[in-house]
Amino acid sequence: MSIKFRLRVLRRRWQLWRQRAATNLRGWGLVLLSLGGGPIELWVGDSHASHLNTSDWPVPAQNRVAPRRYVRHLGPRLMFSLARDGFPPDIVRLARRLGRYGRVPITLLLVVGEIDIRCHLGPRLAGTATPLDFPATYVEHGQALGALARAEQVVFVVPVPPSDEVQDAQGFPVAGTLAERLDVFGRLRAALQAAVDPTDALLLDATPGLADGTGALRTELSFDGCHVNAAGRVVVRAEFDTLRARQDA
């Protein structure tokens, strides 16, 4: 093993350690914030957890996007993998700390599923009778995470609709036709609607405001055919405010 290779390995380990340490410190900062003041929103998930709240990108693993509103970016996670493996240890530790020390109401919002639709499920499941059972397991894991954090509310966010304007990303090529992806999106959306018990959690579904007449993501609400822009964020936020108002009524 050459010295250059060893140095590259050590440099990468040092970078990973710094990233984990920074994320851990930000997590403790959120715990301290939860000791007093007003309610906290914590959005956890893939890149959409961030883009539904801010135009800033890229972002650190944990980012403040508004007063007492935070995003915990888990990277390009699949709903399927979270259902299979559960949530990563770092977010589980944060939830446990919030549950142990927090003194203010916490709303936990979970955002994944768009990558499943864009990159995997369309050509595999469209037009078949194969049931989508993993969303129910994902919801179970999400509710368990909310219980650890002693969250006042757990909100599952329906992913944004697919689009024919999205481009291949490195490592994440678009799989399937738009029709196939729309078919699977509808089935995943229905599976989430069936899995989320309104007595235990909430479902944030902004699809009616985000989709055009074909069911695809409206062009004017996205900057890349995948993530929402400022106008799209307004639609999602309005739907969230309406959802909370109904819950409080």
CATH of 3-248 among 3.40.50.1110, 3.40.50.1000, 3.30.70.20, 3.30.70.1250 = 3.40.50.1110
Where does the pLDDT of residue 224 fall: very low under 50, low under 70, confident under 90, or very high at 90 and above?
very high
Query: Six-digit token pair at 24?
Result: 């851990």
Q: What is the pLDDT of residue 168?
A: 79
> Does the pLDDT at position 32 exceed 80?
no
Domain residue ranges in the chain: 3-248
Mean pLDDT within 83-109: 94
Please give the model's pTM, rounded to 2 decimal places.
0.89
- On whether the CB atoms of residues 112 and 79 are closer than 8 A, the answer is yes
Q: What angle separates helix 134-148 from helix 178-195, to the nearest 10 degrees?
A: 50
Q: What are phi and psi of 207, to 5 degrees?
A: -55, -45
Neighbour-count burial for 83-112, b at 16+ CB within 10 Å, e otherwise: beebbbebbbebbebbbeebeeebbbbbbb
For residues 174-200, average pLDDT: 95
Any idea which residue has 């899995």 for tokens?
A: 195
Q: How high does pLDDT run on average in the chain?
A: 89
**63-67, 90-94, 107-111: segment of lowest average pLDDT:** 63-67
DSSP state, 214?
Answer: T
Q: Rounded CA gap, 180 and 169, in Å?
A: 19
Helix 134-148 with 89-101: angle, nearest 10 deg: 40
